[in-house]
Amino acid sequence: MSRFEQIGHLLPRGIVRSIGKFLDTAGVMGETEAMVGTTLVFSLGLGLLVFIVSILSTGWLQAFSVPFSGLGAFAADAAGAVVMLIVIEAATLIAVSIALYAYLLVQIDARRRELESVLPDFLQLSAANVRAGLPIEQALWRAATPEFGILAKEVQIAMKRTFSGESISDSLTYLSNRFNSKYLQRTVSVLKFGIASGGEIGEILERTAADLRRMQIMYKEASSSMLMYVIFISFAAIFGAPILFAVSFKLIATLSAVWANVPAVSQGGFGVIGFSPPQITADDFKLFAILAISITSVFASFILAVIQTGSARDGLKILPFFLIAGLGVLFLVMAALDLMFTVF
């Protein structure tokens, strides 16, 4: 047993089993304990590196030492360093876990899409093999040709378990657990019921394949009908909001500069009309614009993912593009407005 596995064994068994099921769905092969231990060691090492860099190049230690100032300078720094190390290690572990979780979610959805794109053809070929007189395990094995990609590999692994003495029902259950696909889970459920009841397996496979094709066609038609929504949301997130925020930022900066040169005696008002400088600074609005565009990009990416693929998790793949594009347009328009006002 490696050191990483020993570290992984320190976690509760329930958590390790849950992580193992999640890794299986993502197609990750290997010992769960070793992977968990590797992640923990990497997170702790990265946190220690961040701690050392922070001590040498930032003033964070002083901020953490303030609550212990009554203990004396050295004791306060020591206590602050310990608290700072714990906080950084915890934050690093959470950040690494979130990053790995997001990556695995993307992998799970990619496997699901690849599976569902070839599943009807695979079932059709399996049905032909069954009608040719092959038993179901041999029919699935021979249908697992390379053109079916990841599905063929997983079917071969599942059928090897059957050839080794495992029941076909358990092997099919193992296969369905390797993908997060409702289509595959329902197909396996129907197939297991047909095997147990002695039904016509070939006809079951053919009808299931036909139903899956109809569902995929209907979903593609629905997705294509929402093209205008996709264009509108993309334009609003990448161009519309950043341009409006950039113009507003320049307006606030210009008004603040104007009011800075207005004598204080003339700022009181005239009659019932009062005049006053902007209540927020240009830097405050710039921070607000960056935050607002980031939130808009997050929601836009998830909404588009639901429209195009039916899964919000696919938005994690296009989220970096929306963030970079939206913030890039914001800063480009700000720079263009600054240059234009400087010239004219």
In the listed set 83, 111, 139, which residue is the last one of a domain according to the structure?
Answer: 111
What is the secondary structure of 155-188 as a DSSP string? HHHHHHHHHTT--HHHHHHHHHHTS--HHHHHHH
User: Rounded to whole angstroms, how far apart are CA atoms 329 and 293?
Assistant: 10
Higher pLDDT, 17 or 321: 321
Arithmetic mean of pLDDT, 28-54: 83
What is the model's pLDDT at position 262? 62
The domain of 124 spans 114-220
Lowest mean pLDDT among 20-29, 135-144, 172-181: 20-29
Arithmetic mean of pLDDT, 176-190: 87
Q: Examine the domain organization and report whether 11 and 98 are in the same domain.
A: yes
In the listed set 55, 85, 111, which residue is the last one of a domain according to the structure?
Answer: 111
CATH number at residue 168: 1.20.81
Q: Which of 206, 177, 172 is nearest to 189 (CA)?
A: 172
What is the model's pLDDT at position 163? 87
Higher pLDDT, 257 or 84: 84
Sole residue written with tokens 């992977």: 35
pLDDT score of 340 more than 60: yes
pLDDT score of 79 more than 90: no
Q: How sure is the predictor about 264, in pLDDT bands with cuts at 50, 70 and 90?
A: low
Q: Contacts for 322-328 with beta carbons within 8 Å, 24 or more apart?
A: 322/237, 322/238, 322/297, 322/298, 323/293, 323/294, 323/297, 325/238, 326/237, 326/238, 326/241, 326/242, 326/293, 326/294, 326/296, 326/297, 327/242, 327/290, 327/293, 327/294
Arithmetic mean of pLDDT, 178-188: 87
What is the model's pLDDT at position 4? 67
In the listed set 111, 146, 176, which residue is the last one of a domain according to the structure?
Answer: 111
Arithmetic mean of pLDDT, 281-306: 87
pTM: 0.69
pLDDT one-digit tens code per residue, 91-138: 998 998 888 888 888 888 888 888 888 889 998 898 888 888 888 888
Arithmetic mean of pLDDT, 258-280: 59
pLDDT score of 74 more than 70: yes
What is the model's pLDDT at position 332? 93
Q: Examine the domain organization and report whether 184 and 235 are in the same domain.
A: no
Instruction: Please state the domain count of the chain.
Output: 3
Q: Examine the domain organization and report whether 195 and 176 are in the same domain.
A: yes
Q: What's the token pair of residue 147?
A: 């053109």
Q: How many CA atoms lie within 13 Å of 183's alpha carbon, on the beta-carbon side? A: 22
Arithmetic mean of pLDDT, 152-179: 88
Q: How sure is the predictor about 291, in pLDDT bands with cuts at 50, 70 and 90?
A: very high
Q: Examine the domain organization and report whether 234 and 201 are in the same domain.
A: no
User: Rounded to whole angstroms, how far apart are CA atoms 24 and 15?
Assistant: 14
Higher pLDDT, 330 or 216: 330
Is 64 buried (19+), middle (13-18) or exposed (0-12) by CB count in 10 A?
A: buried
User: Rounded to whole angstroms, how far apart are CA atoms 98 and 104?
Assistant: 10
User: Rounded to whole angstroms, how far apart are CA atoms 133 and 300?
Assistant: 52
